[in-house]
Amino acid sequence: MTAGAFSYSGKDNLEAMRLATRYNAFLLALIERHAPRNGRILDFGAGLGLFASMLRDRGHRVSCLEIDPELAHGLEQQGFETVRSPRELVDASVDFLFSLNVLEHIDDDVAAMTALVPKLRRGGRCLIYVPAFQVLFSGLDRLVGHHRRYTAVTLCRSLESAGLRVEHVEYADSLGFPASLAYRIVGGSGVLDPSSVRTYDRWVFPASRALDRVACRWFGKNVFAVARRP
């Protein structure tokens, strides 16, 4: 995977998503549910380092893979071991890998994951969380360079093609589906409004998580999979 593999231009949106405290707490809990307590964790597409920092604060050993040079420099300044290519990682040196809303930025997602799989130890797991359903593809996706949105089937297919064994897959943020569909219909600019992020996070996301208990098999704004290296 080279620097030309994908282009990321969503730093403003990353900053806005820092305000989504409930959503971020959900993602942190999701990571910790599957990550080993001890061992090396790799944040693939670490961005501003939000989740790497939260995990480090909770005692985890976290390294970062970030292809964007500006973001990678920021991670290094925060004291993270940071690489910009899987080639810089030693094979079987990672115990757990997670990636949040990154794979959709990569033109050849299977090739990207295929390059990462050997870096996981045998039996090591990964958590991949991505946007769901192409019908929700909007100006936000175009602005930040998304190539696709996924379904449970297409995400599993990509991970299995890379040599992983999928153990679990489900949708998340069910109320985000109609909200994202409305956003697409009205033609949103793609730039997240911080006040809207705060409002959704405070009032809608808790109800969305409650509905997920029923809807997680069928639909949601996002889909995630947990997979293991055989």
What confidence score (pLDDT) does residue 169 get?
Answer: 98
pLDDT at 190: 66
Amino acid at 72: A
Query: Are 206 and 158 in contact, with CB atoms under 8 Å apart?
Result: no
Q: Which domain holds residue 76?
A: 3-228
Spatial distance between the Cα atoms of 84 and 129, rounded to a whole number of angstroms: 20
Q: pLDDT band at 85, cuts 50/70/90?
A: very high
Q: pLDDT above 90 covers what percent of the chain?
A: 83
Our count of domains for the chain comes to 1
CATH of the domain at 7: 3.40.50.150
Q: Residue 122, CB half-sphere, CA atoms under 13 Å: how many?
A: 1
pTM: 0.93
Q: What pLDDT shows up at residue 38?
A: 93
pLDDT in tens, 122-180: 999 999 999 999 999 998 899 889 999 999 999 999 999 999 999 999 999 999 999 99
